Chains A and B, each alone.
Chain A
Amino acid sequence: MDAQTQHDVLIERSLDEQARQLFVKDFRSHLASQVVGGVPVAYYQVELPKFVAANGRPPKSKDEIRQFMLTNPYYQFWSGLQRTSQEMMWDSVIDSVERQAPALNARAKTLAAKAKKSTNLGSLRLNPDLEIPRYHTGVDIHIQPGGYHTEFGADDISAGAIYDRGVHIYLMGGMGSENDSLGRISSNWFRLEHPNLKPARILDMGCTTGNSTLPWGRMFPKAELHAIDVAAPVLRYAHARAVSLGIPVHFSQQNAEHTDFEDECFDVIVSHIMLHETSNKALPKVLAESRRLLKPGGIMIHLEIPRPDDVFEKFMFDWEAYNNNEPFSMGCRESDLIGLAREAGFDPEKVTFAQADAGLSSGQRNYSATGFLFPMLKAEKSAPVSQQRLRKAA
């Protein structure tokens, strides 16, 4: 089934384009439900006994596992198929985007012009002088050709159009009809944890096409909602999409390491699987910037990629790092996020970690047989009068 919510800048698919995209989606679903499950079998029943016989002990680390699994025929074949499916996913979407780009770009311009004349459709602020960080330009993240940032013409939204449709195929629709499950998870969790807080101003960092941003707007319709990203084409798309779906968001092209917002102007700062797409150097800066931007009593939530404890599962989740151009995902997964938040100046007692279940089916999970838990790094900026002020601000 293909149940992606229609909006004004979502690509239309010709008969064959649609069939190709649905093939990739179903093929990936087959890999996830029927093939990847054989990798633990290859490990536990074939390779692990050999390793133990030769070394007299089980492997100590994921890297040790990787060394011998890379030559396991089953793992090789699955890896090759998984990689190929990712390449075909982008290719099948790029066909539609390339064909429609001139019209899509025009439509985005029209929607942006409409927003400019209105008082409640959000805004878009681009900065062509912004330096795209090395962790975006080094390799194309997720092997999306051109990454998030490449522009193929003036006023181009192609990267956003490719990403929004690609993500839907990537998780086989597992993120919902608007690819927004992570934003729903974080905003629902926030509301349950803080039923009395009514944030007046919210910032979503690394928003890409705004999929995770909009649930915050729906949850807190009176809040002023901001979202930033370093890449212009995805922001143009995000703005047009948000206008089309009727959620006002103020998008701006900024690096989360150092924004141009004033000190202490947000009640909530959130990001959704962004930290692992930065770098060792950038990550502490993002946390420090989050702290700077938060009002006293304000709350930071960074939702991140799953962090399994088991050494074999760690090896499995590393697949994305080695094969899908997510070079920092390993470093981020291994980093002490709580420690880094404390070093960034958050009160040690106000930094916590929670896990949220993504609710994916076995045909949507990719690497984990046991579930897909997204950890959330949460910190509150210490303040004497926080809660009253937040409530008043709303």
Chain B
Amino acid sequence: MASPKLTKKPARATAKTKSKKAPVKVATKVKTAKTSGSKSPAVALVPLTSPLARTAKGKRPQYFHDPATDRLQSMLVALMAELSVTRDRLDTLERLIEKSGGPGRKLMEAFNASPEVEAERAASRAAYIARVMRPISHELDAMKAGGKS
């Protein structure tokens, strides 16, 4: 339906993009645009003209006396994440080996974890996080004990 006649002023022209940066090629693995419904004709890809931003505008607070501690903390959590990713991937591989005896990239990417498997993974991740976060739970326990432990 066309826009309902609710407006005071006539509708203005649509979409025009203001791109301040020079176009940058963005690597993409996606080759084809899937369209919803088989009747719709395929539409040409609409690539980005600059990479997506990775740093938010606005000053990042400093949490520790030494800013290096801030960086180290973030790096530590990033490492946690990567190990978690690897564990998830390994888990997939192991399950596939059990299932078929011949794991390949295609099979791995296509692997769909069942709700039961996802629940197992979530429990495993929670335990893993708790292990790495142990220094904090120790600090909390000590505070609760009034500094006696």
Contacts and interface: CB of A to CB of B under 8 A. Distances in A.
Interface of A: 1-2, 8, 14-16, 18-20, 22-24, 26-27, 29-30, 34-35, 38, 41-42, 45-46, 73-74, 76-81, 83-85, 87-88, 90-92, 94, 97-103, 105-107, 109-111, 114, 118-123, 125-129, 138-140, 143-147, 150-156, 158, 162, 224, 226, 232, 244, 248, 250, 252, 260-262, 265, 322-323, 325
Contacts of A84: 73-74, 77-78
Interface in B118-148: 118-119, 121-122, 125-126, 129-130, 133, 136-137, 139-140, 143-144, 146
Interface in B85-132: 85, 88-89, 92, 108-109, 111, 115, 118-119, 121-122, 125-126, 129-130
A250 B14 CA distance: 15
B32 A103 contact: yes
A153 B57 contact: no
Given A87-B56, A151-B18, 15 more contacts: A41-B143, A45-B143, A79-B61, A83-B61, A84-B77, A100-B28, A102-B45, A103-B33, A106-B45, A110-B43, A127-B11, A128-B15, A146-B53, A261-B7, A325-B56
B6 A126 contact: no
Contacts of B126: 26, 29-30
A229 to B, nearest CB: 15
Contacts of A80: 63-64, 69-70, 73-74
Q: Is the interface of B mostly helix, strand, loop or mixed?
A: loop
Contact of A102 (B4, B47, B136): B47
A81 B73 contact: yes
Contact of B146 (A38, A45, A78): A45
Nearest to A118: B1
B52 A145 contact: yes
Interface string B28-70: 1110111111001001111111111111111011011000011
Nearest to B57: A140
A42 B143 contact: yes
Contacts of B3: 123, 125, 250, 252
